[in-house]
Each structure stands twice: as structure tokens, then as C-alpha cells.
Amino acid sequence: MSRGKVTIADIAKASGVSLSTVSRVLSGREGTIPISATTRGRVLAAVDELGYRPNLAARTLVSGRSQAIAVLVHDIADPYFSEIIRGIEDVASARKYMVLVSSTDRDPEREAESLLRMASFPTDGIILAAGGLEDESVSRSVSSVLKTGVVIVGIARHALPVSTIDIGNREGARQIVTHLLDLGHRDIAFLSGPEHLTTANDRQAGYRQALADAGLSDRELIIPGDFSREAGVNAIPVLLEQNRPITAIFAANDKMAIGCLTGLRTAGVAVPDRMSVVGFGDIPAAQDTNPPLTTVTIPLREVGRMAMEQVFRELAGETSASLSVPTSLAIRGSTAPPFTLAPEPLTPKTVKTVRK
Amino acid sequence: MSRGKVTIADIAKASGVSLSTVSRVLSGREGTIPISATTRGRVLAAVDELGYRPNLAARTLVSGRSQAIAVLVHDIADPYFSEIIRGIEDVASARKYMVLVSSTDRDPEREAESLLRMASFPTDGIILAAGGLEDESVSRSVSSVLKTGVVIVGIARHALPVSTIDIGNREGARQIVTHLLDLGHRDIAFLSGPEHLTTANDRQAGYRQALADAGLSDRELIIPGDFSREAGVNAIPVLLEQNRPITAIFAANDKMAIGCLTGLRTAGVAVPDRMSVVGFGDIPAAQDTNPPLTTVTIPLREVGRMAMEQVFRELAGETSASLSVPTSLAIRGSTAPPFTLAPEPLTPKTVKTVRK
DNA sequence: TTGTAAGCGTTATCAC
DNA sequence: GTGATAACGCTTACAA
């Protein structure tokens, strides 16, 4: 039956009604528009028989709504982002929305470029899941795109005038470092993320704050990383050469933490006996390392869902808003008390701060 | 400057030329269409100043090309698929194509539905990465969609009249089972994938063939699985209750293999000392298990790239084709000779077959 | 080298 | 309830 493109004109002809009637029947909102049952039936029959499918581009052009949203991420192959996307997809597809994705590899230029292209599609909404890249050209693009009426929602802290799903990066980092302190660790290294990424910076701030609260600011040790598995692997030799009594590593994300685990195994350092390791994010792989990784759980799918729901809300006329998702600790096998015979006691004051 | 929607009409007005001239300048193909440098400059200046961005929906409507392709996967949060998508994206974005994704969770209905929606977009191409689901409604949708002129490329074996990127599932499985046989294993369990999935069935066929070639068909042990991590975890108690001297497990995909590793750890069975484990796919996580997972490497990104390149080729007029990607073995730490004091020797004939 | 005008497939605004 | 008809923003013959 259906050969080539079938348009409403064909349906109109086949069912003996006008174009507008066909359009009305197909518009969906049954209650709103009055149509005789007979007409309706005939149109639907023709649609079925000819295998008609509406041309979304045409619909978009005239209605201004494309039923599509775009998601910008650093890398879709990173489980952190693919989990978020899955959450987005789940709520999008329930409303028959299509999802466009774009990996920008943390390149501001590509981010701006992608943003512009997606907006000119035009998509109805754009979710910036790429995580707070602080770059001027990106913010310029965002502002310019906002004027066209697209809804934009950012995930993680942004200096942008858009709705935000805020992840408690700083607080989560503070909590997990406190967990290490509670276990008795005093020399905790921090493996940092890429510069100019608010997500990474906030986690680092949480680390520093936890140490400061415990009066241990002088014990800070920050090793530069970039969120990649390899950064984790390579950090180990660097760390071991430091000639400092490090007993725990806090990697700014799970991928690096997993790299650390591998690096430590290679170096013959037992985890958690000789070294505790923690990450951030709780990507699925964190459960299957050996030992399983202690980390900060971000409800990644939920984050995606919230972002998408916020897009829909704004599309329905609501104003922008800042929501936040709570993180929690997933205490697993990669952390244990440090290997010291006589653990340094905390001063009373410090204990109070840490436990609060 | 740029407020609301800027159209070529605005550019035309601002630069004092006609709509068509603006369109020509913007069409890209500089060499093909003659335009005076002056005009060109003025148009471009106006574009820049007004912040003009072409409306892709309008362009799609008239040209029939949307510069977008769709990818159907089972689950975008599964690294197997997100790696493939990344490969697709890499070649798509180089040509400024947008990528739509849809997770169908192996549900034929959603697969068909998604396919139809994506096609009616209309996207220029559709990549069926979902991996050979054998279902009638899906094939019907594919045939109907093909008539509209979209290019479809399938990944993995399909009974569909479309181009295919074939993954050597059967051969890869045969190879890795042979690796286990070479190590001395004779009782190798197979943890299967979902039914009706050619990918899973082909791997199972490879397992059976390798055993048959070694004259060990009577040692077959197939445990039902579904490609999920949990299936791997849960298979372990089932396996241990079998009261059979199993020394190796071949899981039909890496996720299950990783689940097996975790299950074995829980059960206190040392890998590879007491049990060897292998998977299929070589997703990134396979390198970071402890011990690292021996598995069959599928060049996942390359698969994605090839699929996308094939789409472009067909869009350029070439005919459909069947390509295949070679798999290879990644021998890592999860395999070792079986824990038997006196390994059964292979018969000469068998050795020959196995080594060939 | 540039302009005019006819669509592309829908929806939306009027009438009837 | 239903039918013309004018957009939507762009490309592309066909003229000039």
C-alpha cells in the first residue's frame, strides 16, 4: 500500500473530505474540536490504509513546536552522561518527544556550535548536561539562543540565566571526606577534575572544606586529573613518589577512582588495607570493581528525569526554577580504617564539627 | 541584536538583495553557484550582525533532507550501545549531521513505533543498532519505512533487506571457547542472552560449535541469561548447585561476565584460580574488573563509524552492502588453566581441530 | 549575477 | 461541522 510519501492531501482525497478536516482529526485533541464520528472514522480508515505518517518537519515549521529536545553532554560514551540521558529519554518518550544528543568533549567551541545548531532546528528544549563549563562563548550562545524562545535547562552549577538541576557536589564531597576522616584517615589526597568545570571545582571545594573543618588544611594534597580513567591510573605512581603518608585517595569522579584501583593493583598496594579509595557519581561500574567502590551516589537517571520534566514545565508556561538533587554516600569495600598502629585522635572540637 | 527569529527575509532586507540570493550565499556550495564577492560579503555581514540561523525544519521540508539520522538501541545506558553511538556521532558530526537516539528496551512494539516516528521526521537515515531482534512487526515497519526513501543500516545479523554491519559473533564465540579449551578447560558453562536476539543466538552457536569441534558436545551446559548484570550475579548460585565440575564460564556478554565476577567473589570462588570467566564485547569496564576480564573485543566505535559511513554512502547513491568487522581476543586475567591436578589430555584429532 | 515565484506538508484563521 | 486559504521559512527552477 504505502508507497513513497503519503500526505494529508492523499488522505483528504481518499476519504472525501478537505485538508483541514484531516488535519483536525489528526491533531489529537479530540475533545477540543468538534468532528462527526462518521468523518473521523473515514479519515482514520484512510490513514490506516495508506499508511500515512505526518511529516514532522512541516508540522514543526508551522506550529513552531518540533517535539524534539536536545541534550548536550561531554561524552555520550561516559556512563555518567548516558545514565542521565536515559533518564531524560524516559520522560521524553512518554510524551512522544524525540531526543537529539551531541557529545562536545568539553570543547567550548563545539559546545557553542552544537547549541546553535540544535536551537535552529528548532528543538523545543535544550538540556545542558555538559556540566558547568565556564566559558564566555558558551554563555554568549546561550543568551542568544534563549531569545529565540527555546527552553534551556542546565545540569550542575552554571552561571547562566536558565533553570538548573543542581547536584550537591560540594556537600557530597564534604560528606565523603568526612567519612574518611571518621575512619581515621588524616592524609587524604584529592585527584582533581578538569579546570573550569564547576562540577570538578565544587567537589574540590568540598574536599578542602572538610579538611578545614577538621583543622587539617595543612594536610591538603591535590593531584591534577581530568576525569579520565587514565588520569586515575597515572596518579598512583605520582602519589607513591610523594613521600607523604597518604592513606586515602578521593578521586573527583568514579572513572578516575576506578583507574586508581587498577593503578594500585598494578603497584601492589592493597585496597582498602593499605589505601582507601573513594569516587564521586556512583556510575554502575562502581558496584563491580573489586573491592566495590565507596562513592557519592548521584541519582543520575533521576537528574535526567528532573531536567526533562522542568523543560516540559517551562514549555507549558511555568517560569524557570532551580531544583537540587540530594546525594548520598554509598559505603562499600574500598574504604577502611587506615593502616596505622596508633591512630591520631581528633581533638574534641574537631570531632564535633565532623560529626555534625 | 538578534531578537526572536531572524529569517532570510530579514537578511535580504538588511543587505538589500533578494531572498534567493541570500539562500544561494548560505547554501554553502561556493564553487557551484556564481555570486559576486560584494553581494556575498554584504549578506554574510548581515547574517553575522543579525545572528541569523537557518531554520532546519523549513530547509528539511523543501529539500527533503534533514541532516539528521536516528539510532535505535536497546538501551543507551548500556556501554555496549553508547560506545557504538559515539562512533556514529563522530562521523555524523564531522558532516554536521544531528543524531537522534531512542532506547527501546528490546520491546518490538517500541522499536516499530520509534522507527516510524524517526522516519516521518523525516531523518535521512536510520541505524538499527538494537541488534537483530527477530520480530515480525519490526520487519513490517522496516519495509514500510524503506519505501519512503530513508536509508537504513542494521548492526548485527538481521533478516532485513538493508545494509548490515556484521559482527562476527559466532566466530568470536568459537575463538574464545577454543581459548578456554586450549587452557585445558573441558567443562565450560555458557550463560546465554535473551531469546530471539540473533546476537545472542550466534554467540551460543559459536560456543556449541567449538565444543562439538572438540568432541565435547556432551559437556554443554547452557544457563539462561538476559544480558543483564544481575543475570550474571544470579547465575553463580545456580551454577554451583549444578553438581558438575564446571571450571569456566562463558557469558554471552560482558555485563553478565562482570556480574559473574561479582557473584563469584560473593560466593568465595577465586577467579581465575578456581573458575575462569570470559565475556563478549570488551566494553571499557572489562579492563577494570579485578581480575581484568578476558573477552572478545568488538571494535564498538568502529562499528558505529562504519554504520554511519554506510549511511552516507547510500545517501550519495551507492547501493546497500554487507560489511563485517573482525573480532579479536583480549586475553586478560580472568582466565587460567583449570584447577585440576591431572588435566585430561586432548585426543590428537581434537588438538588439531582446536588449534587450526 | 540576481530576482520572481512556485512550492514543500502542515496548521491556523476565517468563513459558511 | 466543514472547507478555502493564508501562512511557516526555505530552496529552486525559470526569467531577466
Least confidently predicted of A116-120, A350-354, B160-164, B170-174: A350-354
> For the whole model, what pTM was predicted?
0.93
Cα distances (angstroms) measured from residue A268 to each of A188, A239, A262? 19, 14, 10
C-alpha cell recorded at residue B171? 566466530
Residues A198 and A224 occupy one common structural domain:
yes
A132-159 average pLDDT score: 85
Residues B124 and B191 occupy one common structural domain:
no
Q: What is the pLDDT of residues A239-263, one digit of tens each?
A: 999 889 999 999 999 999 999 999 9
Residues A344 and A214 occupy one common structural domain:
yes
Instruction: Please list every residue in chain B whose beta carbon sits closer than 8 Å to the beta carbon of residue A11.
Output: none
Least confidently predicted of A15-29, A201-215, B130-144: B130-144
Yes or no, beta carbons of A57 and B61 under 8 Å apart: yes
Residues in A 230-289 with any Cβ partner in B closer than 8 A:
258-259, 261-262, 265, 284-285, 287-289
The yes-or-no verdict on residue A177 having pLDDT over 80 is: yes
A157-167 average pLDDT score: 89
Percent of residues, chain A, with pLDDT higher than 70: 92
**Chain B CB within 8 Å of residue A5 CB:** yes
The residue type found at A46 is A
pLDDT of B149 reads: 87
In angstroms, the separation between the Cα of residue B335 and the nearest Cα of chain A is 16
Question: Domain total for chain A?
Answer: 3
- C1’ C3 / CA B315, Å: 32
A130 within 8 A of A164, measured Cβ to Cβ: no
Question: Which residues lie across from A297 on neighbouring strands?
Answer: A281, A328
**Chain B CB within 8 Å of residue A224 CB:** no
Residue A219 pLDDT grade (very low, low, confident, very high; cuts 50, 70, 90)? very high
Residues B83 and B187 occupy one common structural domain:
no
- Answer yes or no: is B39 CB < 7 A from strand C: yes
Q: What does the H/E/C string look like for A158-180?
A: CCCCCEEEEECHHHHHHHHHHHH
**Chain B CB within 8 Å of residue A102 CB:** yes
Residues B222 and B350 occupy one common structural domain:
yes
Nucleotides of C under 7 A from a protein CB: 1-13
pLDDT of B89 reads: 98
Residues B244 and B346 occupy one common structural domain:
yes
In angstroms, the separation between the Cα of residue A354 and the nearest Cα of chain B is 33
A176-183 average pLDDT score: 98
Which protein residue's Cα is closest to nucleotide D1 at C1'?
A35
State how far the Cα of A252 lies from the Cα of A229, in Å rounded to an integer: 11
Q: Which residue of B has its CA nearest to A113?
A: B96
A186-193 average pLDDT score: 98
- C1’ C10 / CA B53, Å: 22
**Chain B CB within 8 Å of residue A120 CB:** yes
pLDDT of B36 reads: 85
pLDDT along chain B (356 residues), means of 10: 74 92 84 81 92 94 95 97 98 97 93 94 94 75 89 89 94 98 97 94 97 97 97 96 93 98 96 97 96 98 98 95 96 93 51 35
Yes or no, beta carbons of A77 and B75 under 8 Å apart: no
CATH of the domain at A83: 3.40.50.2300
Residues B246 and B336 occupy one common structural domain:
yes
**Chain B CB within 8 Å of residue A86 CB:** yes
CATH of the domain at B21: 1.10.260.40
Instruction: Please list every residue in chain A whose beta carbon sits closer than 8 Å to the beta carbon of residue B2.
Output: 144, 147-148
Yes or no, beta carbons of A54 and B289 under 8 Å apart: no
State how far the Cα of A33 lies from the Cα of A69, in Å rounded to an integer: 28
Residues A74 and A14 occupy one common structural domain:
no
**Chain B CB within 8 Å of residue A4 CB:** yes
In order, the DSSP letters of B217-283 are: GGG-EEE---SSHHHHHHHHHHHHHT-S---EEEESSHHHHHHHHHHHHHHT--TTTT-EEE-SB--
Residues A112 and A156 occupy one common structural domain:
yes
C-alpha cell recorded at residue B40? 556575498
Residues A102 and A145 occupy one common structural domain:
yes
Residues B28 and B161 occupy one common structural domain:
no
Query: Scanning the structure block, which residue is given the C-alpha cell 560489511?
Result: B323
pLDDT of B343 reads: 53
Residue A13 pLDDT grade (very low, low, confident, very high; cuts 50, 70, 90)? very high
pLDDT of B31 reads: 66
Residue A58 pLDDT grade (very low, low, confident, very high; cuts 50, 70, 90)? very high
pLDDT of B84 reads: 98
**Burial per residue of A154-179, b for 16 or more beta-carbon CB atoms within 10 angstroms, e otherwise:** bbbbbebebbbbbbbbbbbbbbbbbb
Report residue A226: phi and psi, to 5°: -145, 20
pLDDT of B349 reads: 42
Give the nearest partner residue to B55 out of A98, A122, A287, using CB atoms: A122
Nearest to B307 by CA among B2, B7, B73: B73
Q: Which domain holds residue B126?
A: 63-166+300-327
Per-chain mean pLDDT for chain A: 91
Residues A119 and A195 occupy one common structural domain:
no
Yes or no, beta carbons of B98 and A102 under 8 Å apart: yes
